Amino acid sequence: MAIPKPSRRDFLKTSGHLLIGFNLLPLAYCQPKDEEGLGYSTYEGIPERPHLDKNLIDSWIRLDADGHVTVLTGKQELGQGIRTALLQIAAEELDVDIDRCHIINGDTGQTANEGYTAGSNSVEGSGKAIREAAATARNYMLSLASVNWDIDIESLEVKNGEILGPSGQKASYWELLDGKYLESKVDNKIAFKDAKNHQVIGNSILREDILNMVLGKTHFVHDLRLPGMLHARIVHPPSYSARLVSVDVESAISLQGVLKVIQDGSFLAVVAKREYQAIRAWEKLKELSTWESEKITVLPDQLFEDLKRKSQSPQTIEQNNSILSKINQSNKKHRASFFRPYHMHGSTGPSCALAKWEAGKLTVWSPTQGVYPLRNTLADLFDINEESIRCIGLPGSGCYGHNGADDVSAEAALIAKAFPNVPIRLQWMRENEHMWEPYGSAMRIELSAGMDAQGLITAWDTQIWSDTHSTRPRGDAGNYVSARHLENPFTFDKGGFSGGSYRNATPLYNISDKRLLLHNYDGPLRTSALRGLGAYGNIFALESFIDELSHLADQDPLNFRKNNLDDPRAIAVLDKLAKETGYHDRIKKSDTGYGLAFAKYKNSAAYLAVLAEVTVFKDKKSFHLKRLTAVIDAGLCINPDGLINQTEGGMIQSASWTLLEEVHYDENGILSKDWNSYPILRAMKTPEVKVHVINRPEEKPLGAGEAAQGPVAAAIANAVFDGTGTRVRDLPIKAEKIDW
Amino acid sequence: MPIKLKVNGTARSLEVESDEPLLYVLRDEFGLNGAKFGCGLQQCGTCMVLADGEAVPTCVQPCKNFEEMEIQTIEGLANGDNLHPIQESFYKEQAAQCGYCLNGMLIAGLALLKKNSNPDEEEVRSALDKVICRCGTHNRFIRAILKTAETNSKF
């Protein structure tokens, strides 16, 4: 196969800098291009310039002189394929070939502030903004043609950016603009193209970045190599509370290639000419440094008791004063407790960032999920204006939430301060990432419910004990771990506990009486957002419990769910799952277990139902997760293969959390320091996955990236129960927890 | 000390400390970004290259150990303007999410195909088991390698 060369790469070299956008900017805004990113093809379609106002088309869609379209988004590419999906949306509504379109991701120098790329919000948020801007732009160009030709706008059509009139009139968007600077506001009420006319949306357009990856081309922030760049490594303390007592800096500096050891309080880093020299010095510095620390007092065997004992008085999310008596008076009642341990993001590539200070101005190249929150938190760290900082987002290794990406960016900037005008590249080592990333919080979930004689759930009580699910930096430098280690440390204020803890805790089922209490807990390990936040634990508990109730009601688990649901889209994913898997015709074999689960992510995003199949080896006292089959309804599907890829990934990742994972620690700190001490699913044990999509072109697109996390955990637990008769309620579900 | 390496068919020599692992030489001296740093412990496979046709991690082994070997990296697989069949399969199957592990998966798959041009799924899984993928793209990698085998190409 010849290497495909889409025109959107070819034009990069040829187009000029003449600006014909919808927004007139003084020339002073047109900054010189950054030509330093060696290995990166700099985009020359439109010169870099800041966005001015989210309400202007120019913040999302720009047309330039040579027939190209630049799409801007404040969201980051995290491996979820958002670049391709957003390009499809823009090309569709603008009526241009996708090859004409180029996309720029989060960059405080260019794109709008869209906060964090999180919560499965990118298609719903940025996609909507781009869709509206593109539709407004198309409409604007049609009105221009309509006036020029003095004909009704309704009689015009557009083909690949060319407007065609009924009597053979013809003009491209770019011809119509004719060098004029025009601007317009986004019309939030603009009608989108009728779904039956979609040509780009709904197609599995191939992700072009994957082509670059198979060729080994530059893609990640890790691959950025700036002229004169130096390499840094950071020595984190051996445990959270550790303070640096002494370090033999002289011995470290004497190592070949080492230029500087930076010590500021307990912040310890080394800078060298070559990467490997920095790594050797990092290893040596660990030996040359002495630390003192306090012991961790809440150890794993006491954690779930401590959660209950030391939590704050509960926050009432949903009140119902008579809930307990209602459950007690029910025809059938049940209660159970569920537990999830701390889980790791465990990015394949340790976090990496580059930073450079020039004349008091800071530029950071970062794999962050949010360039603007990074900028305002760096402004706090260095006590400078936000305007003096530019944060450029580049793809990192998949993060699945708040991993080390923001910390490493702040640390690179702290180190670079000692080397004005020199770009510093800092990459974490494996143990930095494993030991210092903020984990997904451990949780304890207690459920009780009552049913009537027909197996309809009448009352449901949920109590959750959890540490916070978000400590993302949002302006306070104390959220960066290393800022807490400086001589003049920033303090960390955990702040208000986030709603992430009770995400998806309210059942979507028809239940007249419900109560939801959240007990916030300040636990022993650092925690923050991990894919799905509390939804993973909550859906694991809720959908395991539903399975238990269905057995109590003596009903098939699928029928039981349907009987207790109203939402037709929820019922539709269950029905399709039954059809695709032959669920109702399955033959019960003694060595096989089937488990079902369902959720609508956040009770507002994608619907997903999943069936897990486990094979049981009773003689060996083990089981194997053989297959996962899911049905997802994410509304209007932008890119079916992209949606399937993300969902497959979420399913496998959740299976790994559910079957294998828990962060180990003892009184001296984290013990899960690498892939041997924190094993995850590898190819041999990976289940087969199949994802079916219900496309609803008439509906709005729904966030899908986290939809699988919770349901898969419960489906596995339910399959293990079906196959072995043991109900495992404390994750991970390991063979030794089963009563053989 | 002077080191002589043959990378993607080209002989190169450089002055480097003898214990420096091959990974840093490839990335920092030769600008070959395909092999990635993942763990530095030979546990994750993202840093693999083909050395005399075998998939080997490069994050620990000193570059001098590779002196007499034919080193092939992911950058050296395409033939001019044509993708290598395994590159084509990975692209067509869209076998990546974040893509950080893609190099390791592709190199491990290619090393298998060089030894066994018609592997079954179990053999593919076994070959990929040494590579960590956190996005959960395993099934697509497996499929891409089986599809590559179906092309009956010479590896």
Between residues A400 and A178, the one the model is more confident about: A400
Cβ contact A2–B82 (<8 Å): yes
A228-236 mean pLDDT: 98
User: Which of B31, B88, B136 is nearest residue A649 as measured by Cβ atoms?
Assistant: B136
**How do residues B102-113 score in pLDDT, each as one tens digit?**
999 999 999 999
Question: Hey, CA dihedral for B105, A87, A112, A695, is it positive or negative?
Answer: negative
Residue A489 has pLDDT above 60, yes or no: yes
Over 90: is that where the pLDDT of B1 sits? Answer: no
Domain boundaries, chain B: 2-76, 85-150
Confidence of residue A7 (pLDDT cuts 50, 70, 90): very low
Tokens 């298609």, residue located: A123
**Residue A33 clears pLDDT 60, i.e. is over it:** no
Nearest to A576 by CA among A677, A663, A690: A690
pLDDT band for position A47 (50/70/90)?
low
pLDDT tens digits along B33-43: 999 999 999 99
For residue A10, name the pLDDT band (cuts at 50, 70, 90).
Answer: very low
Candidate from A175-189, A262-276, A708-722, B55-69 with smallest mean pLDDT: A175-189
| Reported confidence tier of residue A16, pLDDT bands at 50, 70, 90 | very low
pLDDT at A554 over 50: yes
Which residues from A are below 8 Å from B95, CB to CB? 210
Of all residues in chain B, the one with the smallest CA distance to A220 is B100
d(CA A327, CA A698): 40
Give yes or no for residue A46 having a pLDDT over 70: no
Q: What is the DSSP letter of A687?
A: P
- Report the chain A residue with the minimal C-alpha distance to residue B79: A2
For residue A570, pLDDT over 90 is answered with yes
Q: Is the pLDDT of residue A12 over 70?
A: no
Alpha-carbon distance of A297 to A465, in angstroms, equals 19
Mean pLDDT across A531-555:
98
Q: Which residues of A touch B110 (CB under 8 A)?
A: none
pLDDT attached to residue A588: 83
Q: Report the gap between the CA of B96 and the closest CA in chain A (Å).
A: 7
Q: Which residues of chain B make contact with A652, given a CB cutoff of 8 A?
A: 136-139
Distance of alpha carbon A281 from alpha carbon A254, whole angstroms: 9
In which band, very low, low, confident or very high, does the pLDDT at A2 lie, cut at 50, 70 and 90? confident
Contact call for B28 and A1, based on CB within 8 A:
no
Q: What is the largest CA-CA distance in chain B?
A: 45
Q: Which of B37, B82, B96 is facing A210, going by the closest CB pair? A: B96
Average model confidence (pLDDT) across chain A: 92
pLDDT above 90: residue A359:
yes
Choose which CATH entry (3.40.50.1820, 3.40.190.10, 3.10.20.30, 1.10.12.10) describes domain B2-76: 3.10.20.30
Segment A728-740 mean pLDDT: 98
DSSP state of A481: G
Burial A189-228 (b: 16+ CB within 10 A, else e): ebebbeeeebebbbbbbbbbbbbbbbbbbbbbbbbbbbee
CATH class for the domain made up of A7-214: alpha beta
pLDDT category at A5 given cuts 50, 70, 90 is low
Whether residue B92 lies within 8 A of chain A, CB to CB, comes out as yes
User: Which of A214, A273, A646 to probe by mutation at the B interface, max B CB count within 10 Å?
Assistant: A214
- The CATH number given to A221-293+364-369+390-428 is 3.90.1170
Contact A625, A700 (CB under 8 A): no
Query: Stretch B120-137: mean pLDDT, rounded?
Result: 98
DSSP per residue over A528-595, as a string? Answer: --BTTTTHHHHHHHHHHHHHHHHHHTT--HHHHHHHT---HHHHHHHHHHHHHHTGGGPPP-TTEEEE
Confidence at A498, pLDDT banded by 50, 70, 90:
low
Provide mean pLDDT across the span A691-706.
Answer: 95
Query: Minimal Cα–Cα distance from A649 to chain B, Å?
Result: 4
Burial A712-739 (b: 16+ CB within 10 A, else e): bbbbbbbbbbbbbeebbbebbbebeebe
Name every chain A residue with its beta carbon within 8 A of the beta carbon of B48: none
pLDDT at A191 over 90: yes
* Average pLDDT for A197-218: 95
Tokens for A313?
């008085």
- Residue A13: pLDDT band with limits 50, 70, 90: very low
Nearest residue on chain B to A5, alpha-carbon basis: B81
| Cα–Cα distance, A542 to A540 (Å, whole number) | 6
Tell me the chain A residues in contact with residue B131 when contact means C-beta distances shorter than 8 Å.
682-683
Is the pLDDT higher at A41 or at A76? A76
Q: What is the mean pLDDT of residues A248-268?
A: 97
Kindly report, as residue ranges, where domains of CATH 3.90.1170 are found in chain A: 221-293+364-369+390-428
Q: Which of A223, A398, A429 sits opposite B97 (nearest CB)?
A: A398
pLDDT tens digit sequence for A449-483: 999 999 999 999 999 999 999 999 999 999 999 99
Chain B: nearest CA to A45, how far in angstroms? 25
Instruction: Name the token pair of B56.
Output: 């080997």
Task: Return the number of CB contacts < 8 Å for A and B.
Answer: 194
Percent of chain B past pLDDT 90, that is, above it, reads 93
Give Cα separations from A679 to A225, A332, A708, B130 (angstroms): 32, 41, 21, 12
Q: For residue A585, give every residue at least 6 positions away whose Cβ sits within 8 Å of its Cβ, in sequence order, or none.
A: none
Average pLDDT of span A633-656: 97
Q: Note the pLDDT tens digit of each residue in A144-179.
A: 999 999 999 999 999 999 999 999 999 999 888 877
Question: What is the CATH number assigned to the segment(s) B85-150?
Answer: 1.10.150.120
pLDDT, position A41: 42
What are A170's strand-pairing partners? A164
The whole-number pLDDT of residue A4 equals: 72
Fold classification of A554-740 is Aldehyde Oxidoreductase; domain 4 (3.30.365)
Give contacts of B124 with chain A, Cβ < 8 Å. Answer: 683
Given an 8 Å threshold on Cβ–Cβ distance, is B94 in contact with A641?
Answer: yes
Instruction: Please report residues of B whose CB lies closer than 8 A to that of A78.
Output: 98
Nearest Cα to Cα of residue A681 among A618, A733, A610: A733
Burial class (CB in 10 A: 0-12, 13-18, 19+), A626: middle
Examine the pLDDT at A24 and tell me if it is beyond 50. no
DSSP letters spanning B79-134: BTTB--HHHHHHHHTT--SS-TTHHHHHHHHHHHHHH-SS--HHHHHHHHTTS--S
Question: What φ, ψ does residue A122 adopt, rounded to 5°?
Answer: -70, -45
Cβ–Cβ contact B121 with A under 8 A: no
Rounded Cα distance between A507 and A411, Å, is 42
- Indicate where chain A has its CATH 3.30.365.10 domain(s): 7-214, 554-740
Flag whether pLDDT at A30 surpasses 70. Answer: no
A730 versus A116: which is more confidently predicted?
A: A730
Q: Which residues of A touch B38 (CB under 8 A)?
A: 348-350, 430
Give the residue on A whose Cα is nearest the Cα of B60.
A276
- The model's pTM: 0.95
Contacts of A645 in chain B (CB under 8 A): 94, 97, 137, 140
List CB contacts (< 8 A) between B144 and chain A.
none
How big is the CA angle at A653 (ends A711 and B99), to the nearest 5 degrees? 140
Q: Name the residue among B97, B125, B127 with its Cβ closest to that of A645.
A: B97
Of B81, B85, B91, the CB nearest to A211: B91
Q: What's the pLDDT at B18?
A: 82
Arithmetic mean of pLDDT, A293-298: 96
| pLDDT tens track for A661-690 | 999 999 999 999 999 999 999 999 999 999
Test mutation, A1, A400, A628, chain B, max B CBs within 10 A: A1
Average pLDDT for A55-65: 86
SS3 A285: helix
